[in-house]
A and B are shown apart, each in its own frame.
Chain A
Amino acid sequence: MSTTTTTATTSATATTTTTAATAATATAARTAVGRWGVTALALVIVAVLLFPLYWMFNASLQPSHALLSIPPRWFPADPTLDGYRAAFDTQGRHLLISLFVACGNVLVTLAVAAPLAWALAKFRLRYAGLLLFVLLIVQMLPGIVKANSLFTLYSEIGLLNNTIGLMLAQSTLSVPFAAVLLRAQLQQVPTEVVEAAALDGAGHWRTFLRIVLPMSRNGVITAGLFAFLFSWADFLFAITLTSREAVTPVTVGIYRFIGANTTDWNALMASAVLASVPAAILLVIAQRYIAVGVTGGSVKD
């Protein structure tokens, strides 16, 4: 499902078309035109589907009074960065909290899920099948149920309004997903490699950390990426487990901002753009890992 391969094949076919064009000029030229015609149609589709994002970006650069004009301005003719200034002022702290919690969640998720995935993949545990079933089914547990009971637990042990508490709650979104995804990946590590390491006197953990994980780098990156995204996007745990301004992440920051300033669309859309940045960056730099993860963690094998 990797897009890099598809793109490679597409360009390969394109080259074939060029070679064929010299042989049978008319037909091949028509095919090439047809292909670019499809591309044009695809561009229109993408433009329509991504229009909401353009509209967010457009509004993030226009002064608030311009946004309340009819007809709307399709382009930021007179761009301003006021919205971004306001966004940094009001959401800067929340963005940092989100970043901290999301990075922490990556560590928690990998620390819990990777060893478990290895055990599930290679230890021949008696209840491995049952455990895998549990890991799949708990992903379907409605978040509000976890939030409801974690709220009572946290209020007893003093983890409400605590970034570590929030991080641990969010890890419930990514740990089962990462364990299922990594198990499938780690199963592909050849047993001979592990046996060879054991013969060399390496213990279980040493083999796991020095040989297995580096060999399965792609799986680990995908799992980490999704742990980051799940945590960054989390709203339910954030709204239920944090109430103090000083510890709320950006999703709740924006939510409260809407409640307080329904008309300041400029600053609001600038905040929304800032909150989308990690997703956009990840799509650009890590697209092939994302393709693996779309279902990898919620479907067995």
Chain B
Amino acid sequence: MTRTRLAKLSFYVPALLYLAVFFGFPILTNLTMSFQDYTVTSFYAGDAPWTGLGNYAAVLGDELFPTTLWNTAVFTVASLAFQFAIGLGLALFFRRRFPLGGLLRALLLLPWLLPLLVSGTVFRWLLDQDYGIVNHVLLTLHLISDPVPWLVSPDHAMAAVVIANVWIGIPFNMVILYGGLQSIAPHLYEAAALDGAGAWQKFRYVTWPLLRPVTSVVLMLGLIYTIKAFDVVMVLTQGGPADATQLLSTWSYQVSFTELHFGEGAAVGNVLIVIAMLFALVYLRAVRREQAGR
């Protein structure tokens, strides 16, 4: 009996220890660090003086704080809006049955599987001011008269990182929304057609309401992932130029690993946690409500 108990424990106790070390510890350390003056010397001295709320005061009072908060919001909302709209359009399009449909839909997953750093690097090349194909095409079509300084001008950098991030996020939105569309019973459309509904009315009164649970899942997951986005911005602009694309995540990195103020970096990280967790809880509640409603 005790042997069985031990055997059972050996299934999950190692995992619990793992969770404690790799999730519990970092969260706690980040919390304590945010109340300490933790700098490079702390590593050698092994000691960091307590500063109370000093780090938070410094971070929240920093002129970069409202900037990064605003940038994070703009980046997140713009990315989500376009990813979702384009993803939904594609999902609706690929719902039709046509030769090679499955294969072509599968190919669209590729951007999502690539390392973000690779996608970012490719967009650096696409958006290069002098030799990038995007400017070349826009100039040829006479949509612009001068090359757009996508990555080097504070006025355009945010648009550039959003474009790259939208491209990366489209497949994820498409796949989940496509799955949601598949689960809508065909007879509902037949019934709507009998009632004389056109394509728009079918979308408005059948697809959209029935897709709502999936819509909220995809938007919330997208929100949670986009809020902590880091790689794309780092490779495209490193938060620049002139902090035009500095997000909370990249700022936290910069404060900790470039300026070596680990305490303040931890404080920025905690602000990010609070925001991410707020949305995470809203999301989990939405999922639970959806499952209860099923």
Task: List the interface of chain A (C-beta within 8 A of B).
Answer: 1, 3-4, 6-7, 9-10, 13-14, 35-36, 38-39, 41-43, 45-46, 49-50, 52-53, 55-56, 59, 67-68, 70-72, 112-113, 115-116, 118-120, 123, 125, 133-134, 136-138, 140-153, 155-156, 168-169, 171-172, 175, 179, 203-205, 208, 229, 232-233, 235-236, 239-240, 251, 254-255, 258, 265, 268-269, 272, 275-276, 279-280, 282-283, 287, 290-291, 294-295, 298-301
Contact A49 to B170, CB < 8 A, known contacts A145-B27, A235-B231, A279-B110:
yes
For B124, what are the chain A residues with a Cβ–Cβ distance below 8 Å?
A: 258
Q: B197: CB under 8 A from chain A?
A: no
Chain A nearest Cβ from B192, distance in angstroms = 21
- Contact between B123 and A52, CB atoms less than 8 A apart: yes
**16 extra interface residue pairs, beta carbon distance < 8 Å, beyond A52-B122, A55-B125, A112-B18:** A39-B100, A50-B110, A56-B125, A71-B136, A115-B10, A141-B273, A142-B249, A142-B269, A148-B30, A152-B29, A155-B43, A235-B117, A272-B118, A295-B179, A295-B217, A299-B217
Kindly state the interface size class of chain B when it binds its partner. 35 or more
Return 6 A-B CB contacts under 8 Å, by A number: A9-B97, A42-B94, A112-B15, A151-B257, A153-B29, A287-B106
Which of A155, A171, A232 makes the CB contact (< 8 A) with B22?
A171
Contact A45 to B99, CB < 8 A, known contacts A141-B276, A272-B118:
no
Which of B30, B119, B256 makes the CB contact (< 8 A) with A52?
B119
What residue of chain A has the Cβ atom nearest to residue B7's Cβ? A204
- Contact between B18 and A137, CB atoms less than 8 A apart: no
In this complex, the member of B115, B179, B221, B266 whose beta carbon has the largest number of chain A beta carbons within 10 angstroms is B115
Tell me the complex Cα distance, A28–B270, Å.
62
Residue interface mask B59-75, A partner, CB < 8 A = 1 = 00000000000000000
- Contact between A258 and B121, CB atoms less than 8 A apart: yes
Contact A46 to B108, CB < 8 A, known contacts A112-B15, A136-B284, A233-B116:
yes
What residue of chain A has the Cβ atom nearest to residue B168's Cβ? A52
Tell me the complex Cα distance, A77–B280, Å.
50
Tell me the complex Cα distance, A255–B182, Å.
40
For A112, what are the chain B residues with a Cβ–Cβ distance below 8 Å?
A: 14-15, 18
- Contact between B269 and A282, CB atoms less than 8 A apart: no
Tell me the complex Cα distance, A229–B176, Å.
19
What residue of chain A has the Cβ atom nearest to residue B266's Cβ? A148
For chain A, what secondary structure do more than half of its interface residues adopt (helix, strand, loop), or is it mixed? helix
For A239, what are the chain B residues with a Cβ–Cβ distance below 8 Å?
A: 234, 257
For B138, what are the chain A residues with a Cβ–Cβ distance below 8 Å?
A: none
- Contact between B125 and A269, CB atoms less than 8 A apart: yes
Contact A148 to B234, CB < 8 A, known contacts A136-B284, A142-B272:
no
- Contact between B106 and A3, CB atoms less than 8 A apart: yes
Residue interface mask B183-206, A partner, CB < 8 A = 1 = 000000000000000000000000
- Contact between B94 and A149, CB atoms less than 8 A apart: no
Contact A279 to B125, CB < 8 A, known contacts A119-B8, A149-B25, A204-B7:
no
- Contact between A255 and B22, CB atoms less than 8 A apart: no
Which of A43, A115, A299 makes the CB contact (< 8 A) with B11?
A115
Tell me the complex Cα distance, A168–B126, Å.
35
Give me the 8 closest cross-chain CB pairs, A-B, nearest first.
Answer: A116-B15, A233-B115, A149-B29, A279-B113, A7-B102, A142-B228, A149-B26, A38-B98
Tell me the complex Cα distance, A4–B23, Å.
38
- Contact between B228 and A255, CB atoms less than 8 A apart: no
Interface residues of B in 138-188 (CB under 8 A from A): 140, 167, 170, 172, 175-176, 178-179, 182
Contact A140 to B277, CB < 8 A, known contacts A7-B102, A149-B29, A179-B15:
yes
Q: B239: CB under 8 A from chain A?
A: no
Residue interface mask B228-242, A partner, CB < 8 A = 1 = 101100110000000
